[in-house]
Amino acid sequence: MKTDPFDLTGQVAIVTGAGTGIGRAIAYLLADHGADLVLAGRKVEPLEVTAAEVLARGRRASVIPTDVKDAKACERLVEAAMETYGRLDILINNAGGSRAKSLDTWTLEDFNDMVALNLTSVWVLSLAAGKHMRVRGGSIVNISSMASLRAVPHSAPYGAAKAGVNNLTAVLSVDMAPYKIRVNCIACGTIKSEGFLRAMDRLKLDPDVTGGANPMGRAGEVDEIAWPTLFLVSKGASFITGQTIAVSGGPIS
């Protein structure tokens, strides 16, 4: 009898930024394939919406309000997952955010805030989760951005932090490989998340025109990040680690 390489039954996954957009889509897809979810984010209400849908899909869900810029809160998140489920198999470092401002308006505080949100949180959560994954192995997927691979005007701190995520992914994969922990990264192109769609609506712009500067000529859907994430945490990707994969509609987006 053939086994399903995408079956996650019995596994427990932490997803940060799980209240909206890419994080919510990832949570739903992991639940569809059998995982129980620990849902983290700053706002409780959106997380509870995600949790209700996970429960409706027949899986367990825990809501842990977490500001990932707070290292202690990140560590508490991992410990809460272990206390509730007794194991941790998957970590999705999805929480993050960007800002675009002219170069002379960025302050050191702004820079440090971008790094804490997009890079330091990945480091803290990966180390905390990795300690528990050593028991049976596991998988970490970091959600990065194409801004890490090209020069996006007015976004230097964000791009630099995400570039750090790409490199951190590679180095952690080497250090964690002896414990059968795989670490990979997805560099997202423009995706139709709630925030992006709100901005396009406010500016009266077409999301696919604005976000379609790629060979496919359109912005991506949140599910188009969720599916590669599922692949990377599954047995289907059992020989893949340390990679940053561009999911962006083409090589120049």
Active site residues: 158
Task: Evaluate the CA torsion angle 191, 141, 108, 151 in order and state its sign.
Answer: negative
Rounded to whole angstroms, how far apart are CA atoms 249 and 243? 18
158 burial via Cβ count (<10 Å: 0-12, 13-18, 19+): buried
- For residue 61, the 8-state DSSP code is E
- How far is it, in rounded angstroms, from Cα 5 to Cα 64? 29
Helix (H, G, I), strand (E, B), or coil: what is residue 211?
coil
Contacts 24+ apart (CB under 8 A), 96-105: 96/17, 96/121, 96/143, 96/145, 96/162, 97/158, 98/145, 98/147, 98/155, 98/158, 99/155, 99/157, 99/158, 100/152, 100/153, 100/154, 100/155, 100/158, 101/154, 102/154, 103/154, 103/156
- The set of residues, in sequence order, having a beta carbon less than 8 Å from that of 15 and lying 6+ positions away, is 23, 26, 27, 30, 37, 38, 39, 40, 92, 94
